[in-house]
Amino acid sequence: MKVYISATLRNFFGRNSVIDASGSTIKDILGFLTDEYPDSKEILYDASGKLRSFIQIYVGSENRTETDKWYKELKEDDEVLLLPAIAGGAPNESIISDERRKEISFDDKEIERFGKHLLLREIGVKGQKRIKAARVVVIGAGALGSPVIQYLAAAGVGTIKVVDFDEVSLENLQSQVIHTSRDVKRPKVASAKDKVRNIDRSIVFEDENSKIDTENIEEIIDGYDLVIDCTDNYKARYLINDACALLGIPLVFGAIYQYEGQVGIFNLNSGPCYRCLFPTPPEPGLVPTCAEGGAISPLPGIVGSIQANEALKLIIGIGKHLDGKLLTIDSLYLNSRILKVGKNHKCPICGTEPSIFKVEDFDYEEFCGLKEQENEIPVEGFTPEELAKKIENDEPITIIDVREPHERAIRRFPNAIAIPIGQLARRKDELDPDKDTIFICKEGKRSILAINTLREAGYTGPMYNLKGGFDAMKDIVFSHEGAWL
């Protein structure tokens, strides 16, 4: 039986993308995997032994995540997919009403500009008028937002609101093609505005240079026809989904990681929402983000283009789309699948007995594991300067690097011991409880998870986090060993 492992999980399965597993049921397959790859228990199951809710199990296009489906007999040619959160249907009516469409007119210049659309039978004049009448919010002007914003503008979407709080940095330019070297240190929304103006100055561009939160999300998206999620973190993803579900606004979702991408449509015509697929996010640090794990530069172009395509089909009202489905793309092995996403009637926001009625009533910091619990021992840490001083003074310390192998290959941390998070509990005897142990990762988030993992495993030695992670030490540590400022 072939089991396909998503990229975000492969480090727990010997970096294999496909595993030949023996077993006649999902229960058997999971038992085989955890026996062959003991580290996978950490990612698959929580402390109580339940399958983590951010992981879905598919057989072909059928979702068999519920435990009562684990005992159903598998066929010899069945393919099993382990799908973590990272992030069609019959032709539908347009989300733009006929009344609004009839209010739109074109001048000669617009007829020439959109001539190739007007020639398409499925679009024509009516469809192009709907595109011009549409009001779309794009949240995130980074890797995914780059193609989405530019293709929506090129297609003639009448009003585009772009929401982002960040500034352009040099490392963004590898994949965020809406920005250029001249835009470094500028707000991303300002850079995006310039690009849209260069494409079509008649487009109404609304720039929102702010970070979405429970206080502003509903005001930001209320009154718009469609929201496109181009963010890169779980808190934003659930916040956007919930606001769209409460306001009845369709959501085009996209996510990327390394070589893989996901695209889906949620909250459309009482269909499933993102929570129906992934009820809760993974614990912070358990699954690396795109920023931590990287992504090949064309991948957001592929995924973002599909998001823009799905958005335009919803606006025009043509074709099959991804409502109730999730498209997964593996650009490394050129695989793609369309998986069914069913409505979860127990969903707290769109189910039959909802418990969430207002965005501000829900604590997203706690939900996404970002809030420190009152009874949780705070994780102490050292600044890069403090750690550098300890190393220069040759103090007796142990440095544990929990980064991925490809991250360590780019830049090593001198004299650090590499131990993946999934191996920490069983390798705790390798640590010296009489020495300070400092944990490092890329941004200082996974290392906190590493410390809490060892605490749960009973390790009592002094443990510290490198504040800001390896990124914060760029001015102190060079790529060759021993080069300290």
Split into its structural domains, the chain has a count of 3
pLDDT score of 311: 97
Q: How far is CA 292 from CA 174, 325, 326, 469, 470, in A?
A: 15, 27, 24, 11, 11
Tens-binned pLDDT, residue by residue, of the chain (485 aa): 788 888 778 778 887 888 888 888 999 899 899 988 888 888 888 878 889 888 889 988 888 998 889 988 888 888 898 888 763 333 458 999 999 999 999 999 999 999 999 999 899 999 999 999 999 999 999 999 999 999 999 999 999 999 999 999 998 899 999 999 999 999 999 999 999 999 999 999 999 999 999 899 999 999 999 999 999 888 889 999 999 999 999 999 999 988 999 999 999 988 999 999 888 777 655 555 555 557 889 999 999 999 999 999 999 999 989 998 999 999 999 999 999 998 888 898 988 888 888 887 666 666 665 555 445 567 788 888 898 888 888 899 999 998 877 777 777 888 899 988 778 888 888 999 999 999 998 888 788 888 888 888 889 899 999 988 888 887 665 444 444 43
| 255 closest CA partner among 89, 140, 160 | 140
Distance CA 240, CA 224 (A): 13
**Do 141 and 257 fall within a single domain?**
yes
Residues 161, 203 within the same domain: yes
Is 480 part of any domain? no
Residue 120 maps to a domain: no
Instruction: Let me know if residue 40 belongs to a domain.
Output: yes
Catalytic residue selected from 290, 347, 350, 441: 290
What CA–CA distance (Å, rounded) separates 192 from 174? 16
Tokens 């300002």 found at: 190
315 and 171 co-located in one domain: yes
Kindly report the CATH number assigned to the domain that includes residue 24: 3.10.20.30
Q: How far apart are CA 300 and CA 227, in angstroms?
A: 18
pLDDT of residue 482: 46
Annotation marks residue 244 as catalytic: no
Whether 112 maps to a domain, the answer reads no
29 inside domain: yes
Q: Examine the domain organization and report whether 179 and 142 are in the same domain.
A: yes
In a domain, 157, yes or no: yes
Do 251 and 196 fall within a single domain? yes
Say whether both 69 and 203 belong to one domain.
no
> Which residue range forms the structural domain that includes residue 175?
134-367
Domain containing residue 388: CATH number: 3.40.250.10
Same domain, 386 and 361: no
| 360/403 same-domain check | no
Same domain, 254 and 293: yes
Nearest C-alpha neighbor of 91 from the set 313, 325, 263, 337 = 313
- Say if residues 293 and 8 touch (Cβ distance below 8 Å): yes
Last residue of a domain, one of 50, 67, 84: 84
- How many angstroms separate the CA atoms of 12 and 44, rounded? 9
Q: Can you say whether the dihedral through the CA atoms of 108, 114, 120, 124 is positive or negative? A: negative
pTM of the model: 0.70
The amino acid present at 220, given as its one-letter code, is I
Which domain-ending residue is among 315, 337, 367?
A: 367
- The kind and range of the H/E element at 111 are helix 108-113
Helix (H) or strand (E) holding 205: strand 204-208
Pairing of strands 463-466, 436-440: parallel
Q: Are residues 407 and 313 in the same domain?
A: no
Structural domain ending residue among the three candidates 367, 400, 415: 367
Q: Tell me, yes or no, whether 226 lies in a domain.
A: yes
Compute the Cα dihedral for 52, 58, 63, 65 and give only its sign. negative
State whether the Cα torsion 394-395-397-402 is positive or negative: negative
For residues 166 and 293, membership in a common domain is answered with: yes
* CATH code of the domain covering residue 251: 3.40.50.720
- Look at the chain and count its residues: 485
- The pLDDT score that the predictor gives to residue 378 is 73
- The answer as to whether 93 is a domain residue is no
Measure Cα distances from 277 to 1, 326, 422 in Å: 25, 9, 25
DSSP output for 460-473: -S-EEEETTTGGGG
Same domain, 356 and 270: yes
